[in-house]
């Protein structure tokens, strides 16, 4: 069976982009909610997203949610799974100085995903633009790229799998976010 596609509704797409802008030069972190694939539908649907506001550490290359925040959120999600169907998380990989980061999972991200049981991770590479303006569109590996204001974005959605020898491997999904991309390209005068 082909890997599932991930559909992102407009509101959570903009929430994740704005979260990465808000903390630019530092990582952002949050949770994504929605529906997982079923027997009749081979896709994830991201219906909402919320940024975590209480971080113990927020650095250029890492963010750590406070233990209190993590405990409170996970208890709430567990108590109300029909209202808050967590399907993963999102975080940004901002540029800083000469460090150009990629929208891929670090070894720490992979271990955290396996430990936390989240099937999806949205990774947002955000950097400042020099001169280029980029149309919002899909990439060959399945992600989405584009520019907005003084920022350039490359978004991938990944999951972690274990290979036969026990090594961790990331798998990139194809993203569909037609309403968000149409709104962004129209606002930027591309359509």
> What CATH code is carried by the domain that includes residue 87?
3.40.140.10
Average pLDDT of the residues of the chain = 86
Is the per-residue pLDDT at 153 higher than 90? yes
| 73 to 51, 86, 107, 115, 178: CA distances (angstroms) | 11, 11, 24, 16, 30
pLDDT for residue 129: 81
Per the structure, the count of domains in the chain is: 1
- Report the alpha-carbon distance of residue 111 to residue 118 in Å, rounded: 11
Q: Which domain holds residue 106?
A: 5-188
pLDDT for residue 135: 94
> Please, which residues bridge with residue 58 across strands?
63
Q: At 62, is the pLDDT very low, low, confident or very high (cuts 50, 70, 90)?
A: low
């Amino acid at each position: 069976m082909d890997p599932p596609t991930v559909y992102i509704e407009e509101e959570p797409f903009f929430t994740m982009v704005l979260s990465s802008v808000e903390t630019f030069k530092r990582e952002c972190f949050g949770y994504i909610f929605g529906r997982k694939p079923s027997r009749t539908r081979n896709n994830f649907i991201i219906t909402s997203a919320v940024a975590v506001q209480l971080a113990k550490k927020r650095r250029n290359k890492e963010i750590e949610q406070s233990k209190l925040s993590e405990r409170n959120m996970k208890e709430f999600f567990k108590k109300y799974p029909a209202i808050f169907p967590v399907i993963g998380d999102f975080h940004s990989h901002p540029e800083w100085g000469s460090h150009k980061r990629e929208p891929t999972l670090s070894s720490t991200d992979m271990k955290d995903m396996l430990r936390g049981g989240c099937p999806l991770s949205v990774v947002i590479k955000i950097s400042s633009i020099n001169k280029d303006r980029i149309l919002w569109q899909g990439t060959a590996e399945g992600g989405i790229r584009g520019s907005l204001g003084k920022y350039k974005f490359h978004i991938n959605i990944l999951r972690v799998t274990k290979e036969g020898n026990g090594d961790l491997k990331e798998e990139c999904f194809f993203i569909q976010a037609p309403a968000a991309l149409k709104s962004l390209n129209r606002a930027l005068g591309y359509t």
